[in-house]
Chain A
Amino acid sequence: MTTTDLNAAQTPRKNRRMPAEVNILLVLVGIALLFEVLGWIFQGQSFLGNMARLKIMILQVSVIGIIAVGVTQTIITGGIDLSSGSLVGAVAMVSMSFAQTGAYGLDRVLYPGLTDLPVIVPIAIGLLVGLAAGFVNGWLIAYTKIPPFIATLGMMVAARGFAKWYTKGAPISFPTESFAFIGSGMMPVVIFLLVAVIFHILMKYTRYGKFTYAIGANEIAARVSGINVERQKVRIYMVAGLLSGLAAIVVAARGQTAQAGMGLMYELDAIAMAVIGGTSLTGGRGSILGTAIGMVIFGVIISGFTFLRLDAYYQEMMKGGIIVAAVIVDTYRQKKGRKSK
C-alpha cells in the first residue's frame, strides 16, 4: 500500500491545516466576546457566564452539526451533499412511523399493528434509509460521473417528495418514551460528540481519511497511487447519508414529532458550518474539528441574537453577513500565513 507516500505528500498541507483551525477558533472567541460586551452594555448581564446558556448554544446546533460532519467529508473529496436536509425530513417520517406508541389511542398511529416496538427498530430502519439514499448518491457520482451537485440535488428534491408522500403531508407524533429519550436533555450533544470524535480519528489517522483527502487534493494522482476512488466516494456519500439519517432520528426524538417539512435548509447550514470551519469547497482541505468550531459559531450567533432581543429581520441579515465575514477573515489570515513561510 502507498500509505507512506501519501503521508509524505500530505505533510506540507497538514502544516497549513493546523493554523486554519486556530484562526477559526479566534473568530469564535471574537464573536463570543463581542456578545459578552454587548450583553453588559444592553442587558446588564454576562453572556458567557451562564451555564444554561452555554448548554443551549451547543444543543440547538448539534443536530445540524451531525450532518455537517458528513457534509465536510463530501466537500473534502471535492464534492457536496445537498440532500441532507431533505433526507432529514424523509428519514424522520419513516423512523417515527415505527416509533409510535399506542398509549394515546390507535387512531393517532400510522401503523396500528406496529406500535411500541423496541427502540432499535426505528433507529435501524432510519439509519438504513439514510444509508441507502447515501449509496444512491455515491453510486451516481462515482459511476455515472455526474457532478455531485446534480446527483445530490436530485436526491434533495426526490427525498422531500418522498417525505410528503409518505403520509400525504400529515405529521407523525407520539413516540415511545425510549425513542424520545434519544432527543432528550443533552443527548443530541452527546451523539454529536461521539460522531465527531469517531470521524475525527478516522479522518486523521486511518486510510479512510487519507484516501478522502487524497481524492480531494488530486483525484488523478489518487487513482494512480492505487486508491479505488469510486469505492471511496460511494463510502463517503453513504457516511453522509447515514449521518443525515442519524440527525433525523435525533431531531424527531427531540421534537417528539416527524413532519415532512423538517430539516428544511439544514444542508445549507451544514455546508456553512463546514466552510466557516476552514473546509475548502475546492476539496482536499478541511477537518472535523474545524467544522465543530464552525458549528459552535452558529450556536453562539443564534443564542446571542435572542439574548440581545434582536428582531428576526436583523437576525437573518446579520447571520448572512457573519458567515461571509468569518470566511474572509479565515482566507485572509491563511494567505498571510502562507506568505510569511
Chain B
Amino acid sequence: MKTQLTRLALASTISIMAASAHADTQIGVSMTSFDNPFLTILLNGMKEEAANHDDLELLLEDAQLDVPRQFNQVENFIANGVDAIIVNPVDGAASPRMTQAAVDAGIPIIYANHPPAEHANMPEGSSFVGSNEIESGTMQTEAVCEMLDGTGNILVLVGALENESAIVRTRDIEEVIAKEPCTGMKIVDKQVGNWNRTQGADITANWLTTGMEFDAIIANNDEMAIGAIMSLKAAGTDMDKIVVAGIDATPDGLAALQAGDLDVTVYQNATRQGIESVKAALDMASGKEVPGNIWVPFEPVTLENISDFQ
C-alpha cells in the first residue's frame, strides 16, 4: 500500500515535470512573496508579456520572504538549465551570491523591482529592472509641500524596517523638507506601520489621542495611508484640513483619492516593470546586449490626473 502510494506520487511528479518541460524557452522566476498585492501586479506584468510569446514558459517560485530559500530556488533554476532567471529579491544585500552563481553558469539573471546590491555596477549577464526609489518619496513629499505652502507639522508612517524602500522613502521626506521651499515643514513623529492598513489605523488613532497638532500624514505606502484615513474619519477629523499622502496608487488608494480622502499617491508602474523584466530576459537569452539598469519612471497621482491611472 505504502509503496504503491509512493510510486503513484513519484509518477505524478515526473509527469508534471515532463509536462512543464515542453516549452522551448524557460524563464525561472523567484518572487519575494505571493501574497503581497503590489508584487502580484508585478508578476501579472510578467505573465502578460509571457503570454505574447508562444513557446515561452515562466517557472514560478515563492521565496516567502526568505533569503536562503530564494538562493536555493535560483540554484535549482541553474541546475535545471533554464534560459534566464528573473529574481524579485527578498533582500537587495543578498544578491551578489545569486548574480555570481548565474553569471558563472552563463545564465542571464534579471532583478525586478527591488535593486540588488550591485545595481550601480551590474556585471555582464545581469540587469536590474525597476523604478528609482529616490523619486517616489521625493515626488510624494514635494506634492505635500506644495499643498501646505511649505509649512506644517507632519507625521510619518514608515514601512517595514527590514525593507530598503521604507528607509529610502523616509529619508526622501527628510531630504525634501531640509531644502527650500519646504523648510517650514517639521516631522513631529515617525512610527513603523509595516506597510499594513490595520497598523496604520492603530498608530494614527494613538496619535490622535495625544492631542498632537499636525497638518499632514505621509505614509510610505497607500495601505498605511488608507488606515490613517480610517482613523481620522472615525475621530471626526475634517479631511479637507489634513493632507494624507501614500505611494503605489493601488486600486484601493485610487478609490480613496477619488473620494477626496487621500490627497496624493505615487504610481509605481509594476506592470511595466514585469513586462520589461521578461523582455530583458528574452533579449539576454538570445544574446542581445541589455543595459545594466532599466528604469521605469514613477508618476505622481492627484485628483487632476487620476483618470490616466484607472
Contacts and interface: CB of A to CB of B under 8 A. Distances in A.
Contacts of A313: 161
Given A303-B206, A306-B203, 14 more contacts: A45-B211, A56-B202, A60-B202, A108-B251, A169-B36, A173-B255, A174-B255, A251-B198, A257-B197, A303-B209, A306-B207, A307-B206, A307-B210, A312-B191
A60 B252 contact: no
Given A173-B252, A259-B37, A52 B208 contact: yes
Nearest to B158: A312
A97 B193 CA distance: 26
A-B pairs with the 3 shortest C-beta distances?
A260-B35, A312-B192, A169-B40
Q: DSSP class of A's interface residues: helix, strand, loop or mixed?
A: helix
Contacts of A306: 191, 203, 206-207
A336 interface: no
A309 B35 contact: no
Interface residues of A, number: 38
A52 B37 contact: no
Contacts of A256: 230
B235 interface: yes
Interface string B245-275: 0000011100100000000000000000000
Interface residues of B, number: 35
Interface string B17-36: 00000000000000001111
B222 to A, nearest CB: 11
A303 B192 CA distance: 13
Interface string B205-239: 11111110000000000000011001000110000
B34 A260 contact: yes
Interface in B138-181: 158, 161
A170 interface: yes
B65 to A, nearest CB: 10
Given A255-B227, A312-B161, A171 B37 contact: yes
A174 B254 CA distance: 12
Given A255-B201, A306-B191, A52 B35 contact: no
A185 B235 CA distance: 9
Contacts of A307: 206, 209-210
A80 to B, nearest CB: 22
Interface of A: 43, 45, 50, 52-53, 56, 59-60, 89, 104, 108, 160, 163-164, 168-171, 173-174, 184-185, 251, 254-257, 259-261, 302-303, 306-307, 309, 312-313, 315
Contact of A170 (B40, B202, B203): B40
Contact of A257 (B202, B206, B209, B252): B252
A53 B206 contact: yes
B251 A255 contact: no
12 contacts: A52-B205, A59-B202, A108-B251, A171-B37, A174-B252, A174-B255, A255-B201, A256-B230, A257-B197, A260-B34, A309-B189, A312-B191
A108 B258 CA distance: 15
Contacts of B191: 306, 309, 312
A56 B209 contact: yes
B252 A164 contact: no
A53 B203 CA distance: 11
B56 interface: no
Most A-side CB within 10 Å, residue of B39, B62, B197: B197
B284 interface: no
A90 to B, nearest CB: 11
Contacts of A174: 252, 255
B206 A261 contact: no
Interface in B85-135: none
Contact of B205 (A59, A173, A257): A59
Interface string B41-60: 00100000000000000000
A173 B230 CA distance: 14
A169 B205 contact: no
Contact of A169 (B43, B161, B230): B43
A163 B198 CA distance: 18
A56 B235 CA distance: 11
Contacts of B189: 309
B248 to A, nearest CB: 12
A259, A306, A309, most chain B CB atoms within 10 A: A306
Nearest to B252: A173
A302 B210 contact: no
A108 to B, nearest CB: 6
